[in-house]
Amino acid sequence: MATIEKQQVFAAPGEPGSPVELRDRYDNFIGGGWVAPSEGRYRENLTPATGLPFSSVADSTAADIELALDAAHAAKASWAATSPAERAQVLNAMADAVEENLQMLAIAESWDNGKPVRETLAADLPLVIDHLRYFAGAVRSEEGRISEIDKDTYAYHFHEPLGVVGQIIPFNFPLLMAAWKIAPALAAGNCTVVKPASPTPWSILKLAEVVADVVPPGVLNIVNGPGAEIGRALASNKRIAKIAFTGETVTGRLIMQYAAQNIIPSTTELGGKSPNIFFADVMAADDDFLDKAIEGFVLYAFNKGEVCTAPSRALIDESIYDEFMERALERVRAIVQGNPLDPETMMGPQVSATQLEKIEGYVKIGLDEGAELLTGGHRPDVGGKLEGGYYFEPTVLKGTNEMRVFQEEIFGPVVSVTTFKDEAEALAIANDTLYGLGAGVWTRDGSRAFRMGRGIEAGRVWTNCYHQYPAHAAFGGYKISGVGRENHRMMLDHYSQTKCLLVSYDQKPLGFF
């Protein structure tokens, strides 16, 4: 009998044998170099795997945002003057540098955020690379449009960079969400000041280390510190031409308010409570498609549920409920939790103690509301060195859509399950929410899939799939899930001004005066 060899657990950053070098402390990345925070303060950075600090990062103030903006503005004119081919070359060189260091960065990302290395190796980092290459390609194919007003008058439309933009990154995909924002901004000829999330300030600095030589100084700047201090200083700054934010709704409102005060565009992505809908015909055969659909249900635990589009409401046709859930729960119970650096781990710890406590609180709220606990619901006993980590079991609650656990984003490995009678009820439940970011529809009936897809009020409806994030597909929210889109070449428009040259080739005056 063949034996399957257990894959080796990666050593933690800084430990002997780890490909990830670790310094005691990390400065801000400004103007192509490492700049100490103005007030000289650093903050300990924890790994959620153990809850213990492993390095320190800059604890910056508004003055450091100004330094980063100085560097970005100094680089603005020369970067804007580069040809699309030159910018594409820089993005491709960044992609190559990340690819050469893929394993190192995947481990760093895992350690900073807690997501399992099997995800960072197979999803986060390959997608970072692909987004950089996609926008390198997209910018090469950009062209303006010409409107022929009449035989003597033409409107030439050009894309011009906005200038210097501010970008605020969430903690759930510290590298991938940064790539989503940085790649189109740079491709379109902008310089950027990036503020990473407070719980995950470090992996992006490892990325900066590997791309520092290929990005011109000042084009990409990264400043760490509290949102209350530097996020606000960046978002409200007169010297940015656009602000992009991913996070919660109140800060989203603030961001849009600052943008209104400075009269600049903003993009906000503010979360969701995405329905994942399983019609009866998924169980018409016991085949690969059913297996895929069952996995589609379990994808709520992807990235330990810390995903804005997590399929956190599962809507199951009542005629298949028992049979479907039996298989789904079996698959949920097979999830292996533990050290995120173990390639066999399927679910790592939540990002912080706060998130862990919140998730636990929501499970309790759900039970108080009368939801039924089908599996999970506790902190697992992970033991040993991981004792202080922020682990929570993959959890399934059964209830009804008016419960709070169906209405508010838990941002953890908790799915709330309910049933529906027919297509009309499925659609009504799907849309009975404040949010509209993602949705999943699973059926063997193509017409129904199309009807549902068009009927659901959400920016992304995955049809017979879930949690795919290709660069060439637009992503963003309806309703309070935010304003604007990310990904797809349309992002080049979102990071550009439109210049219209209106030219008359007529020699004759108008005749008014």
Partner 1 sequence: MDPISATPAAVEAIERLREKHGSIVFHQSGGCCDGSAAMCLTEAELPPGPNDVVLGMIADAPFVIDAEQYERWGRPNFEIDVAPGAAESFSLEGSDGVHFISRAPTTANDEENQP
Single-letter amino acid, residue 209: E
Look-up: residue for tokens 């034996």? 3
Closest Cα to residue 152, out of 443, 505, 510?
505
Q: Looking at 79-87, 244-252, 320-328, 451-459, which segment touches partner 1 (CB under 8 A)?
A: 244-252
Indicate whether 155 belongs to the interface with partner 1 (CB under 8 A). no
Which one, 278 or 391, has the nearer CB to partner 1? 391
Three-class secondary structure of residue 103 per DSSP = helix
Which one, 228 or 501, has the nearer CB to partner 1? 228
Shortest Cβ 378–partner 1 spacing (Å): 6
Indicate whether 25 belongs to the interface with partner 1 (CB under 8 A). no
Q: Contact with partner 1 (CB under 8 A): which of 10, 54, 171, 495? A: 171
HSE of 246 in the Cβ direction (CA atoms, 13 Å)? 29
Residues 341-360 interacting with partner 1 (rule: CB under 8 A): 352-354, 357-358
Shortest Cβ 361–partner 1 spacing (Å): 6
- Determine if residue 467 is left, alpha or beta; phi over 0 gives left, psi from -120 to 50 gives alpha, anything else beta: left
Active site residues: 269, 308
Q: Looking at 73-81, 250-258, 274-282, 440-448, which segment touches partner 1 (CB under 8 A)?
A: 250-258
Residues 394-423 interacting with partner 1 (rule: CB under 8 A): 402-404, 407-411
Q: Contact with partner 1 (CB under 8 A): which of 36, 80, 102, 254? A: 254
Q: Looking at 133-141, 213-221, 228-236, 286-294, which segment touches partner 1 (CB under 8 A)?
A: 228-236
Distance CA 7, CA 107 (A): 15
Contacts of 478 (CB under 8 A, 6+ apart): 436, 437, 457, 458, 459
Sign of the alpha-carbon dihedral angle for 444, 330, 359, 344: negative
Three-class secondary structure of residue 502 per DSSP = strand
Three-class secondary structure of residue 39 per DSSP = coil
Distance CA 115, CA 108 (A): 10
Q: Contact with partner 1 (CB under 8 A): which of 37, 161, 189, 272? A: 272
Closest Cα to residue 203, out of 267, 118, 128?
128
Shortest Cβ 118–partner 1 spacing (Å): 23
Which one, 136 or 347, has the nearer CB to partner 1? 347
Look-up: residue for tokens 């605020």? 168
Indicate whether 313 belongs to the interface with partner 1 (CB under 8 A). no
Q: Contact with partner 1 (CB under 8 A): which of 295, 369, 445, 493? A: 369
Residue 465 forms beta bridges with which residues? none
Residue 42 forms beta bridges with which residues? 58
136 DSSP 8-state letter: H
Residues that bind partner 1 (CB under 8 A): 43, 170-172, 197-199, 226-229, 231-232, 235, 246-254, 257, 269-272, 308, 352-354, 357-358, 361-365, 367-369, 373, 377-378, 402-404, 407-411, 433-435, 480-481
